[in-house]
């Protein structure tokens, strides 16, 4: 299938629209892919409806799941092809805090692949799968301070016979990385002791490690990428140049010789060679875009066709077959999360395999563009600007963290795309210290916090404002970016309208404070390499010391477990700004370190940021669709504060966000606000209003709540027939509980013609509650709620309706079909009075029928049922239990004097049924009667209790 024909077949028209946040804050459907040695099959870590490792046939993308992972318990760490029919895997069990690893052995002789899994007994780690050596791999095992490296078969590992494997005799200490060069059959290792980095190699068959390179300069790069022969390496290095370049390196003399490729502006990030050791390609980042320059004609042709068919896309080769004739490629852009393709260089074909985020297909994300500015010292600064499709006029200046050794890319960035989708223009600056521009550019950031780095950012902001128009500008950043966001507003207060600082550093001298628990020599050296030496200039460039210069609304976000910036930094800054009576908001996240480790936490953070910006800059949602999406975010914030997710529970904030969401017309929020007014505020009129609003938009739960308001007499003004119609409407809108009330009304002929057969059909049968839109936990809660309501209505119907013999048999058949065989048990024993304890059935405290009125008083009966048939002794019985109480007036205005339910006790085993005085309206003197019945109405027991207020 030729590339161009394929791509045209998959073209689509994109539509610019406000998108739900959950599209951005989640994992892709395909987490990773690895190409098999014969390129026919792939291994894929999939994250679709389930998380699993799969074998994929590239001819039709047919998947064969191998290992299923419950992400709450198991995390896949690694997987590799060992040969064309064997796979190594390793996963971590979060519950028992242990890793397990093993092999998958495939059998491809049948119509479909078959496989067998065997686990490895030895502890250790795979170094290299040695794909070219069948059933051999490199495996390392820690022995004291050393790692022993073995060439071992899969069988030796599975059967715990590592001692019989070939051992690299000489071990190294302080190894941080092993790799294997297949072309030369050499083991390469990197060691780090103190600040000394040494790169070693050990050709197969040799007994002594040979040192290739050493340096105490941690900013230097030395990365072997191939061997030309036994004496000459190909390395990516900046040891003798400003930029990381591709060199020949003489192993014996330890000297760099020929420069194979050097870019005038950028560091190289990769280099590939063909099977004859000819340079195949080099890669670098040009204005944040991944650029690969090919030297092989086949790849040049394929690249040319691809870029012609998909202009603006970036291509990363992530895996190649041993013969280099097929490659697995990741194709992406700033406005495209990407897809996987299989490239065939012999036939110039590119087969599409997977989209990472299929839900984005047809959605118009915001592309990023390059921006160049000149800083205060004349240096050219590259930036990336992402203008939204529909701008709200706000520029967000977003310095990156680090500040040294990090950079911005023109990749898909979920946070940037979320903000752009909400209307914000995002400016990301590759200021001094950013990697990819050479050592000089990188080192110039040392000691320049609040100075040269911010000059670079300010030059980019000025350039952006020359080319685009904005009504407001705010700063936002994480880590160093959090510090920078504060300093920019301090240095140029006229430029900025608000500050958002996340996980930042605010008091630079505090980093050197002797009271700091992290205080140790290595830590101080790492701080000095970034911040510079401790002197008075640090205080002059600390937001904490300049807080009185921050005059705009400020949001500080911090993690209480942050061991990088430190929570103390944020908490001190918060305290000082509150003392200065600044416009400050503070979110201290519980259980969070230097940023969130899960997508829901990230969603909460950015939904709050969006709300903060809208409040402080008076930004309104444009259009109904945008308002609905914003209301989703506000409801998410409300739920988070109600549940105490990441922050302490805050009912006031939860209600504020719920109300804002409801005001925007969100039907679920309107329903929940109605429920709040009914049950928390005891305001049935406002509850009625919000239920009406929500039900009018088709919310079944609100329609049911509205029907109950009238059905239970809390709100008057409707006839029984009209109330029945409300329940019918709620059922039609998907309320499963309304389904039961409709049945009850049919049973009693209440507002509708009595229809016992229809009633029995609804109540005494199983209803499918499955819903693809519900999570497993949500479905379980629905099933529990439905069953509780169902047995309550069952009891009421059996109590009040006279069934014919045939109808009663149908009722009995239903109970037997769900496992309750004994329909007519007898009473074996009973005890009554006050009960206590933590375990059901509760323990009798006092046998009495006089019950003192006090909170949490539990009274009732323990009873045992039996059967006259010896065959029924281990079965479950059916009984109806009814409480008759004094008239009780609930806070919402409902008058009740009875409650009943079905009970399903096991024969010859003690069961219990109790009433607990929990609420003020239940503190009433009077007669309380509990009765037990068979389904045919025969009474099993009756006990009467008298409640009274004890004398003081």
Q: Is the dihedral of CA 936, 941, 944, 945 positive or negative?
A: negative
Q: What pLDDT was estimated at residue 168?
A: 65
Tokens found for residue 697: 């938009």
Q: Nearest to residue 856, comparing CAs of 836, 832, 886, 841?
A: 836
Question: Is residue 793 helix, strand or coil?
Answer: helix
Backbone φ, ψ for residue 753 (5° rounding): -65, 135
The pLDDT of residue 327: 87
- Beta carbons within 8 Å of 447's beta carbon, 6+ residues apart: 531, 532, 533, 537
- Whose tokens are 């930042």? That residue is 504
| Beta pairing, strands 394-397 & 424-430 | parallel
Query: Position of tokens 């390469």?
Result: 188
What local confidence, expressed as pLDDT, does residue 871 receive? 67
Per-residue confidence (pLDDT) for residue 555, from 0 to 100? 98
* pLDDT at residue number 9: 36
Spans in the chain with pLDDT lower than 70: 1-16, 71-72, 144-145, 165-170, 512-529, 532-535, 870-872
Give burial (CB, 10 Å; 0-12/13-18/19+) of 338: buried
Helix (H, G, I), strand (E, B) or coil at 478: strand
CA separation for the pair 617, 102 (Å, rounded): 56
pLDDT, residue 872, reads 67
| Cα dihedral across residues 675, 680, 685, 690: positive or negative | negative
For residue 3, report the phi and psi dihedrals to the nearest 5 degrees: -55, -50
Instruction: Residue 915: name the closest of 846, 842, 864 by CA.
Output: 842
What pLDDT, on the 0 to 100 scale, is given for residue 632? 95
Q: How would DSSP label each residue in 774-790? A: S-HHHHHHHHHHHHHHH
CA 121, 124, 129, 133: dihedral to nearest 10 degrees?
-60
Determine the pLDDT at residue 532: 65
Q: Which two tokens stand for residue 152?
A: 């071992």
What secondary structure does DSSP assign to 322-338, as a single string?
A: TTSSEEEEEEEETTEEE
Q: Are 545 and 577 in contact (CB under 8 A)?
A: no
| Helix (H), strand (E) counts: the chain | 21, 44
Cβ contacts of 598 within 8 Å, gap of 6 or more? none
Q: Determine contact, residues 305/4, Cβ cutoff 8 Å.
A: yes
Strands 41-47, 30-35: pairing kind: antiparallel
Q: What is the pLDDT of residue 492?
A: 96
For residue 789, count CB atoms less than 10 angstroms from its CB and return exposed for 0-12, middle for 13-18, buried for 19 or more.
Answer: middle
Q: How far apart are CA 852 and CA 834, in angstroms?
A: 10
Contact indicator for 898, 930 with CB cutoff of 8 Å = no
- 848, with CB counted inside 10 A (0-12, 13-18, 19+), is middle
Rounded (5°) CA angle 540-545-547 = 125
Structure tokens at 382: 């590259």
Q: What is the pLDDT of residue 510?
A: 82
Q: Is the dihedral of CA 840, 845, 846, 850 positive or negative?
A: negative
Q: Which helix (H) or strand (E) holds 862?
A: strand 857-866
Which residues are 945's β-sheet partners? 928
Tell me which H or E stretch contains 925: none
Q: What is the pLDDT at residue 539?
A: 84
Eight-state DSSP code of residue 15: B
β pairing state of 879-889 and 424-430:
unpaired
Cis peptide preceding 927, ω within 30 of 0: no
The pLDDT assigned to 7 comes to 38
Q: What is the C-alpha to C-alpha distance for residues 660 and 669, in angstroms, rounded to an integer?
A: 9
b/e burial code for range 700-733 (CB count within 10 A of at least 16 → b) = bbbbbbbbbbbbeebbeebeeeebbebbbbbbeb
Nearest alpha-carbon partner for 493 in 475, 510, 519, 466:
475
Q: How many Å separate Cα 347 from the centre of its chain?
A: 40
pLDDT in tens, 48-74: 888 899 999 988 889 999 999 876 688
Report angle CA 78, 79, 83 to the nearest 5 degrees. 150
Q: What angle do CA 796, 800, 804 make, to 5 degrees?
A: 115
| Cβ–Cβ < 8 Å for 507, 545 | yes
Q: Which long-range contacts (CB under 8 A, 24 or more apart) does 229-233 make?
A: 230/184, 230/203, 232/257
Q: Which residues of 795-834 are buried (b: 16+ CB within 10 A; e: fewer)?
A: bbbbeebebeeebbebbbebbeeeebbbbebeeeebbbbb
Sign of CA dihedral 532, 534, 539, 543: positive
Whether the Cβ atoms of residue 463 and residue 371 lie closer than 8 Å to each other: yes
């Amino acid at each position: 299938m030729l590339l161009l024909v394929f791509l045209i077949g998959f073209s689509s028209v994109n539509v610019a629209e406000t998108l739900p946040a959950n599209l951005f804050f989640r994992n892709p459907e395909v987490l990773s892919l690895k190409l098999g040695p014969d390129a026919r099959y792939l291994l894929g870590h999939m994250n679709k409806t389930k998380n699993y490792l799969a074998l994929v046939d590239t001819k039709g993308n047919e998947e064969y799941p191998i290992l299923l992972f419950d992400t709450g318990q198991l995390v896949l760490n690694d997987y590799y092809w060992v040969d064309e029919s064997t796979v190594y895997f390793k996963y971590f069990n979060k519950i028992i805090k242990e890793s397990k690893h093993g092999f998958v052995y495939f059998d491809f002789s049948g119509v479909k692949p078959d496989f067998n899994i065997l686990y490895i007994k030895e502890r250790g780690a795979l170094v290299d799968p040695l794909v070219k050596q069948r059933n051999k791999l490199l495996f390392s095992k820690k022995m004291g301070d050393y790692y022993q490296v073995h060439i071992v078969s899969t069988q030796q590992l599975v059967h715990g016979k590592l001692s019989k494997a070939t051992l690299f005799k000489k071990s190294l200490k302080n190894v941080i990385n092993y790799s294997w060069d297949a072309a030369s059959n050499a083991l390469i290792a990197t060691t780090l002791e103190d600040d000394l980095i040494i790169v070693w190699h050990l050709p197969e068959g040799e007994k002594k490690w040979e040192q290739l390179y050493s340096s105490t300069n941690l900013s230097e790069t030395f990365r072997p990428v191939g061997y030309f022969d036994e004496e000459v390496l190909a390395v990516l290095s900046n040891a003798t140049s400003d930029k990381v370049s591709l060199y020949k390196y003489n192993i014996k003399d330890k000297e760099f010789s020929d420069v194979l490729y050097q870019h005038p502006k950028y560091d190289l990030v990769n280099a590939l060679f063909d099977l004859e050791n000819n340079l195949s390609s080099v890669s670098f980042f040009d204005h944040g875009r991944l650029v690969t320059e090919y030297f092989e004609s086949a790849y040049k042709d394929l690249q040319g066709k691809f870029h012609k068919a998909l202009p603006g896309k970036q291509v990363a080769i992530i895996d190649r077959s041993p013969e280099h004739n097929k490659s697995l490629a990741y194709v992406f852009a700033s406005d495209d999360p990407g897809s996987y393709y299989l490239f065939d260089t012999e036939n110039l074909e590119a087969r599409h395999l997977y989209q990472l985020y299929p839900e984005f297909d047809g959605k118009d994300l915001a592309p990023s563009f390059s921006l160049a500015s000149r800083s205060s010292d004349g240096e050219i600064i590259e930036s990336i600007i992402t203008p939204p499709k529909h701008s709200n006029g706000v520029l967000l200046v977003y310095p990156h963290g680090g500040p040294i050794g990090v950079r911005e890319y023109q990749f898909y960035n979920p946070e940037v795309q979320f903000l752009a989708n909400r209307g914000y223009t995002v400016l990301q600056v590759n200021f001094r210290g950013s990697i990819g521009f050479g050592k000089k550019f990188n080192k110039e950031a040392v000691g320049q916090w609040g100075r040269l780095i911010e000059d670079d950012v300010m030059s980019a902001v000025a350039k952006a404002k020359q080319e685009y128009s904005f009504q407001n500008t705010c700063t936002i950043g994480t880590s160093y970016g959090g510090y920078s966001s504060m300093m920019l507003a301090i240095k140029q207060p006229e430029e900025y309208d608000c500050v958002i600082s996340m996980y930042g550093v605010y008091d630079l001298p505090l980093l050197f404070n002797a009271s700091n628990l992290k205080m140790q020599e290595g830590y101080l050296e790492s701080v000095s390499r970034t911040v510079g030496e401790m002197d008075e200039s640090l205080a002059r460039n600390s937001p904490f010391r300049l807080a009185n210069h921050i005059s705009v609304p400020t949001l500080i976000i911090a993690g209480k477990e942050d061991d990088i910036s430190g929570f103390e930094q944020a908490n001190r800054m918060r305290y000082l700004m509150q003392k200065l009576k600044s416009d400050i908001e503070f979110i201290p996240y519980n259980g969070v370190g230097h940023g969130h480790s899960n997508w829901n936490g990230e969603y909460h953070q950015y939904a709050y940021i969006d709300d903060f910006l809208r409040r402080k800059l008076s930004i309104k949602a444009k259009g109904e669709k945008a308002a609905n999406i914003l209301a989703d975010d506000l409801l998410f914030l409300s739920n988070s504060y109600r549940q105490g997710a990441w922050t302490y529970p805050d009912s006031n904030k939860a209600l504020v966000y719920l109300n804002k969401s409801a005001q925007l017309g969100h039907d679920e929020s309107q329903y929940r606000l109605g429920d709040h007014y009914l049950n928390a505020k005891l305001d049935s009129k406002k509850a009625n209003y919000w239920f009406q609003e929500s039900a009018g938009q088709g919310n079944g739960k609100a329609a049911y709540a509205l029907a109950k308001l009238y059905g239970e007499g809390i709100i008057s003004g409707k006839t029984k027939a009209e109330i029945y119609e409300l329940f019918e409407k709620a059922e039609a809108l998907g309320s499963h509980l309304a389904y039961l009330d409709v049945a009850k009304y049919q049973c009693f002929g209440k507002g509708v013609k009595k229809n016992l057969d229809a009633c029995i059909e609804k109540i005494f049968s199983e209803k499918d509650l499955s819903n693809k839109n519900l999570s497993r936990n949500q479905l379980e809660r629905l099933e529990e709620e439905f069953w509780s309501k169902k047995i309550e209505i069952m009891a009421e119907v059996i109590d009040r309706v006279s069934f014919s013999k045939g109808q009663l048999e149908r009722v009995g058949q239903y109970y037997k079909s769900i496992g309750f065989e004994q329909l007519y048990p007898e009473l074996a024993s009973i005890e009554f009075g006050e009960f206590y304890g933590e375990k059901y059935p509760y323990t009798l405290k006092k046998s009495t029928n006089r019950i003192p009125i006090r909170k949490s008083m539990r009274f009732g009966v323990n009873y045992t049922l039996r059967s006259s048939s010896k065959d029924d002794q281990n079965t479950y019985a059916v009984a109806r239990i009814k409480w008759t109480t004094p008239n009780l007036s609930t806070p919402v205005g409902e008058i009740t004097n009875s409650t009943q339910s079905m009970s399903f006790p096991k024969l010859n085993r003690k069961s219990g049924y109790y009433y607990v005085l929990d609420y003020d309206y239940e503190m009433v003197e009077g007669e309380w009667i509990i009765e037990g019945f068979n389904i045919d109405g025969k009474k099993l027991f009756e006990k009467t209790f008298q409640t009274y207020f004890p004398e003081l």
